[in-house]
Amino acid sequence: MRKHLVTALAMVTFAGLGAQTADAATDICVAANGAVRHQSGTATCEASGTGSVAIAKGENSSAQATGEKNKARVHGDGSAAGALLGDGNTATVNGDNSIAVAGVGDDNTATINGDGSNAQATFGDGNTATVKGDVSTAAAGSGDNNTATVNGDGSLADAGFGDNNTAVASGDGCIAQATGGDGLSDFCP
């Protein structure tokens, strides 16, 4: 009798966990190579071009990958990722109410791990914008091989209007700008 009771309790517990998992993943969209493979809830996605993939997971989230081998991924509510107008671009968001854009060139990368943040790697090739924090901005572009990195909340890193510039904002409330020339760097603090 006790063995049957334990088995029944385990089945009820696992059945309940399965129902929670199914409910948690109702807002999801997956697209690849010009076709939406799966869409449910309020998440939207689009992927066009060979090897392009867009995945949005979260309420009112959106992912768009247009071009060859572009990747756009969102995991969070009210966020968007776009890998656009070029090839080999990657835009990734892990957080709520954030926007990552990589494009208008090739091999650009924009990454966010945080809420209410913005990362843009655009208008050139090989640019990288990375945010690890909330309500922060990283912008790398208007040139090639620029890098803007934020590690903190309420911070800004801007690298661009030239080539091979680096801006790093480490800490909360930091501003780092390396713009208007080639090979410039700025670090905060």
pTM tops 0.85, yes or no: yes
CB half-sphere exposure, 46, CA atoms < 13 A: 8
In a domain? residue 115: yes
In a domain, 53, yes or no: yes
Residues 108, 130 contacting (CB under 8 angstroms): no
Total domains in the chain come to 1
- 175-179 sheet: strands from edge to edge: 44-48, 62-66, 80-84, 99-103, 118-122, 137-141, 156-160, 175-179
For the stretch 91-106, pLDDT in tens is 999 999 999 999 999 9
**Does residue 96 fall inside a structural domain?**
yes
- Does the residue 95 lie in any domain? yes
| Domain-located, residue 171 | yes
Lowest mean pLDDT among 2-11, 28-37, 166-175: 2-11
Range of the domain at 94: 26-188
Domain-embedded: residue 168: yes
4 in a structural domain:
no
pLDDT per position as a tens digit, 115-152: 999 999 999 999 999 999 999 999 999 999 999 999 99
The answer to whether residue 67 is domain-embedded is: yes
